[in-house]
Chains A and B, each alone.
Chain A
Amino acid sequence: MARKATVLIDKELCKGCELCVIACPLEGLVLSDDLNLKGYRIVRLDTDKCTGCVNCALVCPDSAISVFREPKAAKPEAT
Chain B
Amino acid sequence: MERTFIEEDWMSKPDALVYDNHPETLIDRPLHYCPGCHHGVAHKEIMHVVEELGIQSEVIGVAPVGCSVFAYHYMNVDMQEAAHGRACAVATGIKRVRPDKTVFTYQGDGDLAAIGTAETLHAVNRGENILIIFINNAIYGMTGGQMAPTTLEGMQTSTTPYGRNIKDIGYPLKMTDLVAHLPGAYYVTRQSVHTPNAVRKFKKALKKAFEYLKDERGTCFVEIVSNCPSGWKMTPVESVSYIEEKMLPEFPVGDLKTPEK
> Could you tell me which A residues sit within 8 Å of B by CB distance?
2-3, 5-13, 15-19, 21-23, 38, 40, 42, 44-45, 52-71, 73-74
Contact = CB atoms under 8 A, between A and B. Distances in A.
B3 interface: yes
23 contacts: A6-B8, A8-B3, A9-B4, A11-B2, A13-B21, A18-B36, A19-B36, A42-B4, A55-B196, A57-B19, A58-B41, A58-B199, A59-B195, A59-B199, A61-B36, A62-B31, A62-B33, A63-B22, A65-B19, A68-B16, A70-B8, A73-B15, A74-B10
B21 A63 contact: yes
A61 B17 contact: no
Given A16-B35, A17-B236, A66-B20, A11 B1 contact: yes
Contact of B237 (A10, A13, A19): A19
Given A40-B35, A55-B196, A61 B40 contact: yes
B38 interface: yes
B74 to A, nearest CB: 8
B21 A60 contact: yes
B4 A63 contact: no
Interface residues of B, number: 44
Contact of B21 (A6, A22, A66): A66
Interface string B215-242: 0000000000000010000011100100
B167 interface: no
- Give the interface centre of B19, B39, B44, B200 by most chain A CB atoms within 10 Å: B19
Contacts of A18: 36, 235-237
Contacts, number: 129
B249 interface: no
Contacts of A8: 3-5, 21
Contacts of B18: 5, 52, 54, 67-69
Interface of B: 1-5, 8, 10-11, 13-22, 26, 28, 30-31, 33-41, 44-45, 193-196, 199-200, 229, 235-237, 240
Nearest to B14: A71
Contacts of A19: 36, 236-237, 240
Contacts of B13: 70-71, 74
